[in-house]
Amino acid sequence: MTHGTHGREKQHARERRLFLLSFGACLLVATCFWAAVYGPAYVAYWSYSPLEGDILFQSLPHAPLVNAIEGVSESPYSHCGIVTRQDGRWMVCESLHGVEMTPLGEFIFRGRNQGFAVYRFKPERQKYVPETILAAQKFLGRPYDSRYRMDDEQIYCSELIYKAYGEASGEQLGELVRMSDLNWRPFEETIQYYEGGPVPLDRELITPKNLAKAEQLELVFAHRIRAD
């Protein structure tokens, strides 16, 4: 073996060691980052024991409509869905892009900071859960209502649960509120954009915040979100 060949082999060995060290360092940094960002959410996910009928509230990633929902209602809750068991899997019936079924883990981890709060029907209201879920699933496929009207042609998230429980129990789940009573002024431009006209001050709606305040519900779990 020539001196030049031996030198090249030593150089290649050093390069391989350097590559492995660099790769290992990058892997360590990535692992630490993942653990810091997602680790607590995974712990929370496995700590939460789902029950059919649980209502999950979360903050969606920031966007003009999300900011308006949270700002108008003065709450971190911009979205909600109801938990059910389907073919052995925990799912959430929700209206996001429209009324759809979403795996529980996907629902939780897409929230801002992976935060979520769980509200459960009180024991005396658990009897209404099966019919509430069936009533919610009747709306599957309906488009999302970004104008927040209370008709059945399009459905928004808290409206879905409000109407489903109302059909199942004959009770009102939370208090309807008029747009004029909400903090709408800072978000007037966004509301007008989605409304296609003036702010509908007389419109009644059910916000996620008002749904969470329903007397039939109680907070049982919260992670990385302020419970209203």
Q: Based on the number of CB atoms within 10 Å of its own CB, is 121 exposed (0-12), middle (13-18) or buried (19 or more)? A: buried
CA within 13 Å, CB half, 170 = 0
Q: Which of 159, 191, 174 shows the shortest CA–CA distance to 119?
A: 174
Q: Given this model, what pLDDT does residue 227 score?
A: 86
User: Which amino acid, residue 132?
Assistant: T
Q: Given this model, what pLDDT does residue 34 score?
A: 36
User: Quick one: tokens of 78?
Assistant: 């911009």
Q: Which three-class secondary structure state does DSSP give residue 16?
A: helix
Q: Given this model, what pLDDT does residue 78 score?
A: 98
Q: Which residues contact 50 (CB under 8 A, 6 or more apart)?
A: 83, 90, 104
Query: Checking DSSP bridges between strand 217-223 and strand 204-205, what pairing results, if any?
Result: unpaired
Cα 159 off chain centre by: 15
Identify the segments of the chain with pLDDT beneath 70.
Answer: 1-44
- What Rg, from alpha-carbon coordinates, does the chain have? 24
Q: Given this model, what pLDDT does residue 35 score?
A: 40
Q: What is the pLDDT of residues 12-34, one digit of tens each?
A: 556 566 555 555 444 444 333 33
Q: Which of 162, 140, 50 shows the shortest CA–CA distance to 93?
A: 140
pTM of the model: 0.82
Q: Given this model, what pLDDT does residue 222 score?
A: 96
